[in-house]
Chain A
């Protein structure tokens, strides 16, 4: 074993008793090797004694809040599908081929009616955050919100096939904020809030309703159908009475 391998194994506690004895003998016979090993041992113990930082207290709660939100929004999503599917699907290759063919037909049918420029990369609809972050967004609309006991703003950005809404709302007491989209959307991808949130949300392809109280910033991501308009109407209601209504260009 070369000296570096021996040093490493000794530091890792991977030597047998017999090997340790031989290693010690070799160090005794070679003062340079002994110095080298002592220095490495000191580095090892110093690194082991470096303190670690406690994670921020709200890290875990933030994760669980997002998970609860995702479950509330997509109870039938891939993340929460039942375990039987994982066992059943891989064992049925014929079903997989059939499903693949059906999906292929479904994907190709709308493409036949589209111009190439209006094609939405599927990755931008179902892909990862990293993929979407690489896309260049363009501002689509902005709205300042002012009403009785109400203030905030709503900005919309279109990036690839994704519509991102930056929605900030401060209200005295509970309100209902309803966004009605001019064109139906393909799906609600995510909602993130910048603070602990006790509200709730309802979503259909054309309407998203937030039950809100207090001050919260929302980042809402929705998948758009190819070539559709990002226009929407915003209505904010307190006890079923409209206190703010406007169109977002």
Chain B
């Protein structure tokens, strides 16, 4: 997959910019879902991801082929989404927890009770823990790649993820999703 991306990037840099469409097709879903989980609004997530792809197009000559294309563009998406969240907080002076308006009521209904409770538990995590969980499970990046995306050591990613999973286990037990002892 990474090799395919590298080959497509090389085609783009040789002037075959129609090939960029293939990069968008391959990565729009995880990027959109990552942004959606951070900004919690589908329209804003779409705008952010479109902007990120256009920025990647503009900066493609600076891309380091030693790195996976996906982690490079994923990092851009995370930074753009976090900037958006920061600016939204400044504009509205709202509680840090922005309401999640990413899905229609029908879609939410279809997701089922357990998914809803996990989502609720996720919402209760501190932002830095939630971010690591979201990126790990929706981006499927390695610890090293997550460290690069978040600009923190891989070891910190690991410890945050463990702590986040532990808190989630407790929250899910409290909400009745699981009956395991976690304390």
Q: Which residues on A are within 8 Å of B, measured CB to CB? A: 4, 7-8, 11, 32, 35-36, 38-40, 42-44, 46-56, 59-60, 62-64, 66-67, 70-71, 78-83, 86, 129-130, 133
Contact = CB atoms under 8 A, between A and B. Distances in A.
B178 interface: yes
A48 B181 CA distance: 21
Interface string B30-62: 101100100000100010011101100111110
Contact of A43 (B32, B115, B165): B165
5 contacts: A8-B161, A36-B169, A46-B177, A53-B42, A64-B20
A133 B86 CA distance: 13
B105 interface: no
B14 A83 contact: yes
Contact of B169 (A8, A42, A78): A42
Instruction: Pick the most buried of B13, B29, B61: most chain A CB atoms within 10 A of its CB.
Output: B61
B17 interface: yes
A86 B169 contact: no
A56 B54 CA distance: 16
Given A47-B133, A53-B102, A56-B32, 5 more contacts: A39-B172, A46-B114, A52-B138, A70-B57, A129-B51
Given A59-B49, A62-B50, A36 B24 contact: no
Contact of B20 (A51, A67, A82): A67
Given A32-B181, A47-B133, A67-B57, A40 B166 contact: yes
B103 interface: yes
Given A47-B118, A53-B32, A64-B21, A42 B178 contact: yes
B15 A59 contact: no
Contacts, number: 123
Contact of A52 (B13, B29, B118, B133): B29
Nearest to A44: B165
Nearest to B57: A67
Contacts of B177: 42, 46
A57 to B, nearest CB: 10
B156 to A, nearest CB: 13
Contacts of A66: 50, 54
A36 B50 contact: no
Contact of A60 (B17, B25, B30, B168): B25
A11 B161 CA distance: 11
B28 interface: yes
B119 interface: yes
A39 B178 contact: yes
A11 B181 CA distance: 18
A194 to B, nearest CB: 12
B162 A67 contact: no
B181 A50 contact: no
Given A53-B102, A60-B28, A66-B54, A8 B180 contact: no
Nearest to A4: B162
Contacts of A49: 115
A221 B87 CA distance: 22
B61 A81 contact: yes
Contact of A8 (B14, B32, B49, B162): B162
A53 B28 CA distance: 11
A92 B58 CA distance: 24
B68 interface: no
B101 interface: no
Nearest to B143: A12
A242 B23 CA distance: 44
Contacts of B178: 39, 42
Contacts of A129: 51
Contacts of A60: 21, 24-25, 28
Contacts of A81: 61
Contact of A78 (B58, B103, B119, B181): B58
B88 to A, nearest CB: 13
A52 B50 CA distance: 18
**6 A-B pairs with the lowest CB-CB distances in the bound complex, closest first:** A39-B180, A39-B169, A55-B32, A35-B181, A63-B53, A39-B182
